[in-house]
Structure 1
Amino acid sequence: MRLNREIETGPDKSQPVVYNLKNHLFSFELIFAIDNAFPGMWVKNDKGEVVYGSVQPEVKEGLEILQKMYNDRLILPSMV
């Protein structure tokens, strides 16, 4: 079985680059990734600890962006 996610080092070798190979084309992952938030994924934090991305503080800003997009009708209710 092949994993849906791969983690590799970014160009400056300091930040992980996370790809979700399963459904990245039609999701909102990039909105979260802008702020280094990775909901639904296990990632390493600044201390090197493995943490669940969905409960990290960085996710809040992505949720606020999505809420604004929904309220502005940029996201259709049928997409939710």
Structure 2
Amino acid sequence: MAVKLRLQRFGQHKRPFYRIVAADAKAPRDGKFLDIVGTYEPIKGDVQVNSEKVAKWIENGAQPTDTVKSLFKKFNISSK
């Protein structure tokens, strides 16, 4: 099973809110997930991440998507 760290969309119309989750790569975007590792609020420009969980998932072979990788880089969150 390939695991990805990716965004799961919540919020209202034109008011997005995202969870950063570890999910099976074949699962739907807003479907089943394995673990919640953080949140992202683009309107506020706020990212909250549990770096211990991120490190654990990456050590176990999870790959962050391009968007999540750029968020980690933009907000200086260590993904390795």
Q: TM-score, normalised by structure 2?
A: 0.30
Larger RCO (CA under 8 A, 6+ residues apart): 2
TM-score after normalising by structure 1: 0.30
Q: Which has the higher helix share?
A: 1
